[in-house]
Structure formats: structure tokens, C-alpha cells
Structure 1
Amino acid sequence: MEHALIEFRDKKGWQKYHNLKDLAISLNLEASEVLEIFQWRSAVQPLSEEENQHLQEELADTLIYVFYMCEKLKIDPLEIVAKKMNINQSRHWDTENN
């Protein structure tokens, strides 16, 4: 899948804009669009089918920028998630005892 994203980016000519700073900004903007879906609603209010579809699209946009950043850094996104999970296995949070 990552290869298809890079191929798409290059076909569009966007690689000249894909530096880590601008990708980080874009990632943050897309993550904000995820958050905006939940603005002003209670935590238990279900999403409509349209809102769920919108959320999926914004999550996809966010993941795409993560993949683009990983490509720039020459790292495997699934590998860094696995490493972080190993770190988290040895961590403890206050909420675990409640």
C-alpha cells in the first residue's frame, strides 16, 4: 500500500512539497479534522452514517501523511508501532488500579 501512495504522490508531482516540516503540519491539520467531527457532542452520542464515513476519510488522510513521513524517514510504520508497544508493555498508568 505504501508503494501505491508514493506512486500516486509522484504522479501528482507533490514530492517537491513533501518535506518533514510540511508533512508534520499537514498531519496535524488532518488530525484536527478528525477532532472537529466530535466537537460539541457528548462522548456517548453515536455518529450518523454520514459522520462515520467522514471520520473514515479523515482518518485515512491522517494515516496517509504518517506513511509519507515514514517514507521520508525510511522507516517501517508497523515496525515503529511494534517497538512502541514493547515500550508500553513495561509502563504503568494510574488508571490501571481503578
Structure 2
Amino acid sequence: MDYKDVEQGLIDFRDKKGWEKYHNLKDLAISLNLEASEVLEIFQWEPSNHELTAGERDHLEEELADTLIYTFYMCNRLGINPLDIVAKKMKFNQKRHWDKTE
């Protein structure tokens, strides 16, 4: 499945539920942050070398999916392809960090 298929599936689901009216950038950003906090909660109070159980890994995958979904909704609202902005940022980081001689 490519990004356009995922995006269309998300839009179809949103529209079927009648949620488009809630999908303004501010509310999507809040939802993205809340879901990212749920990712962090999985690791709360665990040592840095904690090995995830199968259940924790499944939970983490669900929360990562939620963060991606809200990110994709924001990108859709802005009319941008998230893969394009990641590629752009990777080029920026390469120039900023890898091209320097130290």
C-alpha cells in the first residue's frame, strides 16, 4: 500500500464518521501530541534498556500508528506529502551534520 492509498483510506474513514469539522490544524496538533504522550507512557518508569514484551510492542505499534494518522491528517490539511517533507529534512540534516569536517 502506498501513501496515497493510506491517505485516501483515512479521508474516507474521517468523512464517513463526519469528523472533518474537527480536523483543523490546532485540534490535529493537540491530538498528535496526546498520542505521542501515549507512546512515551509505554516507557515511563522503565530502565533505558527495557525489553518490550509482546503486549507492549503491540501497544507501541498502535500508538505509533495513531501518531502517524494525525500527522497524515495534518499533511493532508496542508496539502503536503509527508514523504516529501521527510526527504527534504533528511537532505537538510545531511548538509548540516554530515558534510561538516570536524
Pairwise TM-score range, normalised by the shorter structure: over 0.9
Deviation at residue 43 of structure 1 after TM alignment = 1.1
Please report the TM-score for the alignment, with normalisation by the length of structure 1.
Answer: 0.93
Structure 1 counterpart of 2:30: 25
* Structure 2: runs of 5 or more not aligned: 1-5
Task: Name the aligned partner's letter for residue 57 of structure 2.
Answer: N
Shift of 1:52: 0.3
Distance (whole Å) between structure 2 residues aligned to residue 58 and residue 67 of structure 1: 14
Q: Does residue 93 of structure 2 align to residue 88 of structure 1?
A: yes
Residue segments in structure 1 that go unaligned for 5+ positions in a row: none
- Residue-by-residue CA offset, 1:70-92 (whole Å, 9 max, x unaligned): 00000000000000000000112
User: Percent same amino acid among aligned pairs?
Assistant: 71
Equivalents in 1 of 2:97, 2:67: separation in Å?
A: 28
Indicate the residue corresponding to 1:62 in structure 2: 67
Report the count of equivalent residues.
94
Displacement over 6 Å in runs of 4+: none
